[in-house]
């Protein structure tokens, strides 16, 4: 019984925590930060930047000498020459060889230096590409965030219109019940209420879809309970429009990563030209090595302290043995230990190498291709600048048009409110029929919707202009 109660308590707390998590409302800054940490495209750009960084580190390490070591064990039987003693042998033999070799290219025509510079520029370009991907996510998140705010206000307008129709229908029902108005007036209002409810449902669906779109952009596992905090915008200010688009473009050239990345690609291609030309120059390298060996047939004579005078021949005719006047030590041959042999058999070497290219008929095409890649990188840079300029000028013009649309929509709202107020007063005293009154109400709803759309369209375009000025976006 206690276990069941504990299980129910845990289940209740889990459901409660899930409900609280789904009720969390996100600020724009939280949405942007979460998207930057979890978006797949950002992760791909980060991995590409890490690859470029590793390539840059590898190019720097390539400037150091290369060192390699090796060892070999051999077992021979039958007739062979011992590589340690250089003696012919027919017995089983075991040998061991070990060596350490180093090679250092001290001059290669600048290939390594140019390679380091090129890889460093490629790494910087990849970092700018990463920042570009982050900026795209920031803009996409801000656009989706503003779309939710827009749909919320459109829903609010739809609900207001529905509430107005509900009040009118209730009032008209009382008049019909009292016999002051025909039943057809109530039916007309019920039909209008049905249309208002349909508009409300459509607005609710649009709001739900916009929330799901932002939740999916954030890579949320379950975006069904996603919602945002309304920052409560004031009427948009056109102060940014006072700046000339040319000035905004010049500022964007200095801080937009898309241009910085293209500039790094141009510099990298310049290093690529020098890198391809370096193959025409000679290469100078130092080399050195140390090695040693061991053979179990390598023997060492150990004297026993005695000596003899060996025979050196016999006298012809008599056959008497001739004894040498020089004594010779006696003793035994013993195998030399592994450690002693490796210490005694050390071989050291050092060399200087020079390689001069004489003819390589394909190298000139590598140089030509490197120059073409440089021209391609320059055209890409010009294209990025041109695209940025067109975008800034277009956004500036669109923002100005959106602001004018907002002003016009605001005036239309003011006029529609006055018209609806006058129509409502006339409708209450029976001086205006139901059809004309509904037209006045619908005109006000349409004006309010147009004002909301123009407002958020202008806000987004102003934020884009501010983004090109500051490389950041805030609401």
* Gap between the Cα atoms of 151 and 456, Å rounded: 10
* Nearest alpha-carbon partner for 258 in 393, 120, 127: 127
Q: Is residue 333 part of a domain?
A: no
User: Which residues does 199 contact at the CB level (< 8 Å), separation at least 6?
Assistant: 158, 161, 162, 445
Q: Is residue 60 part of a domain?
A: yes
pLDDT in tens, 232-259: 767 767 888 889 999 999 999 988 999 9
C-alpha distance across the termini of the chain, in Å: 54
Q: Is residue 55 part of a domain?
A: yes
Q: Is residue 262 part of a domain?
A: yes
Q: Is residue 71 within 8 Å of residue 281, measured between CB atoms?
A: no
Q: Is residue 8 part of a domain?
A: no
Domain ranges, residue 422: 25-64+111-146+207-281+362-475
Q: Is residue 242 within 8 Å of residue 400, measured between CB atoms?
A: no
* Nearest alpha-carbon partner for 434 in 134, 93, 221, 189: 189
* Gap between the Cα atoms of 109 and 19, Å rounded: 67
Q: Is residue 373 part of a domain?
A: yes
Q: Is residue 271 part of a domain?
A: yes
The DSSP 8-state label assigned to residue 463 in this structure reads: H
The tokens for 415 are 């006029």
Q: Is residue 196 part of a domain?
A: no
* Nearest alpha-carbon partner for 249 in 414, 425, 389, 67: 389
Buried b or exposed e, range 312-339, using 16+ CB within 10 angstroms: eeeeeeeeeeeeeeeeeeeeeeeebeee
pLDDT in tens, 42-101: 888 889 889 988 988 888 888 788 899 998 888 877 666 766 666 776 677 788 889 999
Strand partners, 301: 333
Instruction: Quote the number of domains for the chain.
Output: 1
* Nearest alpha-carbon partner for 250 in 411, 134, 396: 396
Residue 241: enclosing H or E segment and its boundaries? Answer: none
Q: How far is CA 294 from the centre of its chain?
A: 55
* Gap between the Cα atoms of 241 and 247, Å rounded: 11
Q: How far is CA 213 from the centre of its chain?
A: 22
The CATH number linked to 395 is: 1.20.1600.10
* pTM for this entry: 0.74
Q: pLDDT in tens for each of the 475 residues of the chain?
A: 444 444 444 444 444 444 443 457 898 889 999 998 888 888 888 898 899 889 888 888 887 888 999 988 888 776 667 666 667 766 777 888 899 999 988 888 888 888 888 999 999 999 999 999 999 999 999 999 999 988 998 998 889 888 888 888 888 788 788 887 788 878 888 888 898 899 999 999 999 999 999 988 888 888 878 888 888 767 767 888 889 999 999 999 988 999 999 999 999 999 999 988 888 888 899 999 999 888 877 666 667 667 777 777 777 777 777 677 777 776 666 677 777 777 778 889 999 988 888 877 677 888 889 999 999 999 999 999 999 999 999 999 999 999 999 899 999 999 998 998 888 888 777 787 777 888 888 888 888 888 888 888 898 888 889 888 888 777 6
Burial class (CB within 10 angstroms; exposed 0-12, middle 13-18, buried 19+) of 229: middle
Q: Is residue 141 within 8 Å of residue 217, measured between CB atoms?
A: yes
Phi, then psi, of 68 in degrees rounded to 5: -140, 150
């Amino acid at each position: 019984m206690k276990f069941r109660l504990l299980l129910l308590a845990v289940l209740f707390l889990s459901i409660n925590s899930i409900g609280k998590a789904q009720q969390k409302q996100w600020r724009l800054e939280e949405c942007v930060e979460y998207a930057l940490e979890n978006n797949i495209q950002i992760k791909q750009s980060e991995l590409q930047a890490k690859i470029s960084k590793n390539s840059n580190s590898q190019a720097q390490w390539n400037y150091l000498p290369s060192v390699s070591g090796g060892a070999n064990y051999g077992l021979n039987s039958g007739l062979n020459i011992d590589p340690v003693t250089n003696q012919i042998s027919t017995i089983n033999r075991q040998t061991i060889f070990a060596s350490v070799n180093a090679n250092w290219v001290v001059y290669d025509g600048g290939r390594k230096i140019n390679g380091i510079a090129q890889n460093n520029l490629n790494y910087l370009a990849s970092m700018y590409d990463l920042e570009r991907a982050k900026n795209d996510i920031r803009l996409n998140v801000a656009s989706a965030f503003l779309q939710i705010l827009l749909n919320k206000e459109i829903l609010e307008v739809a609900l207001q219109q529905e509430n107005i129709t509900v009040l009118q229908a209730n009032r008209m029902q009382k008049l019909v019940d009292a016999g002051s108005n025909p039943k057809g007036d109530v039916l007309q209002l019920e039909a209008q209420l049905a249309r208002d409810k349909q508009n409300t449902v459509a607005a609710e669906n649009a709001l739900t879809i916009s929330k799901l779109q932002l939740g999916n952009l954030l890579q949320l596992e379950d975006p069904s309970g996603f919602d945002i905090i309304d920052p409560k915008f004031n009427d948009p200010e056109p102060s940014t429009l006072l700046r000339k688009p040319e000035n905004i473009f010049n500022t964007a050239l200095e801080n937009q990563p898309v241009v910085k990345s293209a500039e790094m690609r141009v510099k990298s291609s310049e290093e690529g030209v020098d890198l391809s030309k370096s193959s025409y120059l000679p290469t100078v390298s130092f080399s050195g090595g140390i090695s040693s060996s061991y053979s179990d047939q390598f023997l060492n004579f150990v004297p026993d302290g005695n000596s003899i005078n060996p025979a050196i021949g016999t006298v012809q005719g008599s056959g008497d043995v001739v004894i040498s006047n020089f004594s010779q030590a006696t003793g035994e041959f013993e195998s030399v230990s592994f450690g002693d042999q490796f210490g005694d058999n050390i071989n050291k070497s050092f060399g200087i190498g020079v390689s001069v290219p004489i003819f390589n008929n394909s190298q000139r095409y590598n140089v030509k291709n490197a120059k073409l890649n440089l021209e391609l990188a320059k055209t890409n840079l010009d294209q990025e600048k041109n695209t940025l300029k067109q975008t800034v000028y277009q956004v500036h013009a669109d923002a100005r048009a959106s602001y004018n649309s907002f002003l016009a929509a605001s005036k239309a709202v003011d006029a529609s409110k006055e018209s609806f107020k006058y129509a409502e007063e006339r409708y209450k005293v029976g001086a205006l029929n139901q059809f004309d009154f509904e037209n006045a109400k619908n005109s006000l709803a349409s004006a309010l919707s147009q004002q909301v759309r123009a407002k958020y369209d202008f806000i987004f375009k102003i934020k884009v202009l501010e983004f090109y000025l500051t490389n950041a976006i805030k609401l």
